[in-house]
Amino acid sequence: MSGLGIPKPAPHAPQLAKELGLTEDEYGRVVEILGREPSVAELGTFSVMWSEHCSYKSSKIYLRTLPTTGERILVGPGENAGVVDVGNGQAVTFKIESHNHPSFVEPFQGATTGVGGIIRDILTMGARPIAIMDPLRFGDPALDKTRWVVDGVVQGIGHYGNCLGVATVGGETVFDPSYNGNPLVNALCVGVMRSDRIQLAVAERPGDIAVLIGQRTGRDGIGGASVLASAEFGEDGVDEAKRPNVQVGDPFAGKLLIESCLQLYAEDLLSGIQDMGAAGIACSTSEMASKAGLGMLVDLDKVPLREPSMEAWEILCSESQERMLALVSPDKLDRVLAVCARWGIDATPIGEVIEGDRLIFTHHGEVVHDAPAKALADEGPTYHRPVEDWVHPHAHEDVDAMAAPADLGEAIRTVLASPNIGSARFVYEQYDSIVQHGTAQGPGADAAVLRLPAMDAEDEEYPRGIALATDGNGRWCALDPEEGAKLVVAEAARNVACTGAVPVAATNCLNFGSPERAEVMGQFRDTVKGLGEACLALGVPITGGNVSFYNQTGEAAIHPTPVIGVLGVFEQVVTHVPNAFREAGDVLFLVGAPTRPGLGGSEYLWRVHDRIAGRPPRIDLEEERRLHGLLWAAAEAQWLRSAHDVSTGGMVVSLVESCLPYGLGARVVPEQGVNPVQFLFSESPSRVVVSLRAPDAEQFVRLCEARGVWAQKLGMVIEEPVLQFQDLLDVDLTEARRILDAALPAALGLDA
């Protein structure tokens, strides 16, 4: 292909490289790889492919230490999403990613395209997307800016998911001042497929035709990976010039793209397929070619454009939404075009796979780009950034020794009034959580539970299912990144186990400040260490995910915030366990571990004492693992009437949440020898409140003993809507409901 010509060097190439985000050393390396000065198009592709967002240049040395294999893992990191075997020839694929910076610049479109992007990652694997989860973190809800961001983000998520027909089944809505300048908009998607129909993003053979499927290419999103996702905001917040870098989504076009791709998969018409997300055509072509050790020749004049005046580098780096790049054998091309036409989707041949390793793009009859695909996709810089141990300035305070508040009842009301505790109904009622009719348990539960579509007659009678939970706690990780990360993994896995599912895999979205700050890299290093240890101990290998750096404005970085999604599997979804008490007379047990000092980083400490201090509680991962095994076994025996973990807000919040759905109450005997404040508010791990019918209690206790799991009778469910803590205080659950329902609207100023 050398006869096609050599690209013209870019005018003032070193300065242009700097403006595009390449360092002086990176630019020198590009010149060395090419053996000449780069063209404008080549500078564009190297800048986006070597950006932090695409190349993981600051994080990959740590990510390689995470456990990524397991007996159910069919596809791990390196593809668009992980794939997990759920049995009987069926598989699910899931992944979590971030769209943080775009959602601060343009909340509605940022959230919309974040959801659209993660859905296409799932679609690219060959699966039908069936559900979304939305772990969200915002700043102080009293700020007008926060309220604007919340409104746009929630509307954007609802708009895309609802129009597309994919259920939003759970997530988190957390408020903390550390996110004032950098909200976190993470999105998880899960899809289902036959395990023998996995699609991979790889070029298989020379001569295959590259077909661009979906929307026309425009200027929206140009530089999104390098301009938005790989740089921090300045002291003055959002630069208005960055608004054009936010992509624009169209869920109705996305729906047609889903259906057309699923038909292409069903007819086995594709050799490979890749979503055009970050870095657009530059990313999809380089990654597919690099994996096969091949090259691609693409004529950019054939790319359908919304704006005909676009330059070559703009076409290559545009992140316009609802686009895929498919590789097609020439003998199947006509059928591919016909299928896309049936669904009203544009499908345009723009190039072909070639021998060699070159990624060659032509424009107006001239070669504008000729570089090794592997150099772009796999040989970006690897940085060993300076690292400092992170020590929170208040981590050494002995918060567990603080004096109890004068009025425990008022402390309970204060905690319940937190927007992080209160009902998120205002958010999730804007989402369709039941479309596709697979939702067995949706928003408001410990974990979402989904019924999988039947593969055969046996599945129709005994449907399989999955459980999904996301968790993240920035305060814990700010106080101790390693221990905080262990707690986050354990809580997500525990929430899945509470439903009776077996946790089998995890995905992660790691949100941090600037990697150019040594203390941030110290937080990141320790967080990944904690994640790896917990995932290994609890049997939930990481199947993929995302790193989001530069979440800071000026010197103000967010809390280190790893958000973990855990997937669990049911052999029969009908055995799933809810988190609400079911009937008066049922017996309550606290299982897993006794209540231990656990006020460090707690919601109680923050809301009642206005402090983020102390150490987060320590976890015994073996104790946690045994608890999960107990919950699966008790659910399989159909002894559990409910199971709800003790987490944010402590025991009092867990009990209130379990009482309210059916208007019940509970009579509780506090643990002997435990300080009342700790009993009510401690967030120490590995604790679950379960309810059982009285006749099942004795055999349940024997099961706990057999599995080496600590258990203690806690009390019983009662008819009256009151939570009675013997010899301590009563909580009026009618008032508690009113406080919880009002908490989030009041915080956002919507109660007027």
User: What is the Cα–Cα distance from 724 to 737, expressed in whole angstroms?
Assistant: 16
**CA dist list (Å): 573 to 73, 440, 443, 453, 466:** 21, 8, 17, 11, 7
Structure confidence by residue, pLDDT tens digits, 34-83: 999 999 999 999 999 999 999 999 999 999 999 999 999 999 999 999 99
User: What is the Cα–Cα distance from 525 to 390, expressed in whole angstroms?
Assistant: 10
Report all structural domains of the chain as residue ranges with CATH numbers, in order of start. 578-752 (3.90.650.10)
Annotate 489-546 with three-state secondary structure: HHHHHHHHHHCCCEEEEEEEEEECCCCCCHHHHHHHHHHHHHHHHHHHHHCCCEEEEE
User: What is the Cα–Cα distance from 321 to 217, expressed in whole angstroms?
Assistant: 8
Q: Residue 684 has which token pair?
A: 């120490």
Q: Pick from 243, 311, 277: which is nearest to 113 by CA?
A: 277
Would you say 662 and 739 are in contact if contact means Cβ atoms under 8 Å apart?
no
Q: Which of 53, 101, 369, 392 is catalytic?
A: 53
Radius of gyration (Cα) for the chain, nearest Å? 26
User: What is the Cα–Cα distance from 337 to 341, expressed in whole angstroms?
Assistant: 6
Q: Residue 209 has which token pair?
A: 């035709």
* Predicted pLDDT at 61: 97
DSSP state, 305? B
Would you say 447 and 491 are in contact if contact means Cβ atoms under 8 Å apart?
no
User: What is the Cα–Cα distance from 651 to 654, expressed in whole angstroms?
Assistant: 5
Q: Which of 12, 99, 364, 394 is catalytic?
A: 99
Q: Pick from 408, 141, 380: which is nearest to 282 by CA?
A: 380
User: What is the Cα–Cα distance from 467 to 497, expressed in whole angstroms?
Assistant: 9
Neighbours of 461 (CB within 10 A): 9
Across residues 296-315, what is the average pLDDT?
Answer: 94
DSSP state, 142? T
* Predicted pLDDT at 752: 47
Look at residue 243 and tell me whether its pLDDT is greater than 50.
Answer: no
Query: Regarding beta strands 128-138 and 167-175, do their DSSP bridges make them parallel or antiparallel, or are they unpaired?
Result: parallel
User: What is the Cα–Cα distance from 164 to 684, expressed in whole angstroms?
Assistant: 40
Structure confidence by residue, pLDDT tens digits, 511-543: 999 999 999 999 999 999 999 999 999 999 999
How would residue 232 be classed by pLDDT, with cut points 50, 70 and 90? low
Mean pLDDT of the chain: 94
Structure confidence by residue, pLDDT tens digits, 555-588: 899 999 999 999 999 999 999 999 999 999 999 9
Quote the Cα angle for 528-530-534, to 5°. 115
**CA dist list (Å): 449 to 593, 635, 733:** 25, 14, 27
Q: Residue 518 has which token pair?
A: 């040594």
Quote the Cα angle for 683-686-691, to 5°. 95
User: What is the Cα–Cα distance from 624 to 601, expressed in whole angstroms?
Assistant: 20
How would residue 727 be classed by pLDDT, with cut points 50, 70 and 90? confident
Would you say 626 and 568 are in contact if contact means Cβ atoms under 8 Å apart?
no
Look at residue 462 and tell me whether its pLDDT is greater than 90.
Answer: no
DSSP state, 100? H
Neighbours of 243 (CB within 10 A): 13
How would residue 455 be classed by pLDDT, with cut points 50, 70 and 90? confident
**CA dist list (Å): 423 to 10, 360, 419, 565, 738:** 56, 54, 8, 21, 10
User: What is the Cα–Cα distance from 611 to 596, expressed in whole angstroms?
Assistant: 20
Structure confidence by residue, pLDDT tens digits, 140-179: 999 999 999 999 999 999 999 999 999 999 999 999 999 9
Look at residue 3 and tell me whether its pLDDT is greater than 70.
Answer: no
- Strand, coil or helix: 185: strand
User: What is the Cα–Cα distance from 713 to 604, expressed in whole angstroms?
Assistant: 25
Look at residue 446 and tell me whether its pLDDT is greater than 60.
Answer: yes
Looking up tokens 């999604």 gives: 565
Q: Which long-range CB contacts under 8 A does 721-727 form with residues at least 24 apart?
A: 721/659, 721/663, 721/664, 721/665, 722/665, 723/652, 723/655, 723/656, 723/659, 723/665, 723/666, 723/668, 724/665, 724/666, 724/667, 724/668, 725/668, 725/670, 725/680, 726/667, 726/668, 726/669, 726/670, 727/670
Q: Residue 383 has which token pair?
A: 């940085």
Cite the beta strand spans of 634-721 per DSSP E.
Answer: 640-645, 665-668, 688-692, 710-718
Q: Pick from 405, 407, 406, 414: which is nearest to 736 by CA?
A: 414
- Position 92: which residue type? V
Quote helix, strand, coil % in the chain, to nearest 5: 40, 25, 35
Catalytic site residue 99?
yes
DSSP state, 177? G
Look at residue 1 and tell me whether its pLDDT is greater than 60.
Answer: no
H runs (alpha helix) in 660-693? 676-681
